[in-house]
Amino acid sequence: MFAGLSFFIFAYDSVPARVSIYTVAQTLPLALSLKLLLSLPDGRRNAGARLAGVVAILIIGIYFLRLLGGLSNLGGEFSFVRFNQMQSGLILVLVFLSMALNFGFLLMAMDRCATRSPISRCSTISPASATAATCWLG
């Protein structure tokens, strides 16, 4: 991706090619994580994974809307220095969706901590103090 983007910046100046490469580079990791986020490991549902999966799908859709707008000059001429109103709105939506994606990951982590067995919680060593963490089995 870096080589392709560098070529279309320095050797041959092509904004549509740069926008296309950027979109693929941003959406590929999200698309590859969808199978893991939307599957049911151990037959259990995880609300955080479901939220993160749905938000990842929305982010991919927004990136492709942005690509469509950049390639077809939808909403006005596309520029990396000055965004038109449509591009600015899509970037704003992407910022809020990325916060929702992080919240989904936080819910996944909280669910993981809540489902650990009491014995494994008791045997946890605190990395800050190098002492055994307190245990509550009630």
**Cα 42 to the chain's mean position, in Å?**
24
pLDDT per position as a tens digit, 105-135: 988 888 777 666 555 555 555 555 555 555 4
Q: How far apart are CA 30 and CA 52, in angstroms?
A: 10
- Return left, alpha or beta for 36; rule: phi > 0 is left, psi -120 to 50 is alpha, else beta: alpha
11 in a structural domain: yes
- pTM higher than 0.85, yes or no? no
pLDDT per position as a tens digit, 83-95: 788 888 989 999 9
- Closest C-alpha among 83, 79, 105, 104 to residue 92: 83
66 in a structural domain: yes
123 in a structural domain: no
128 in a structural domain: no
Domain that holds residue 51: 2-111
9 in a structural domain: yes
pLDDT per position as a tens digit, 13-42: 777 788 888 899 999 999 999 998 888 777
Strands (E) across the chain are located at none
Two structure tokens written together for 15? 């904004």
116 in a structural domain: no
Residue length of the chain: 138
Burial class of residue 94, CB neighbours in 10 A (0-12, 13-18, 19+): middle
The structural domain count of the chain equals 1
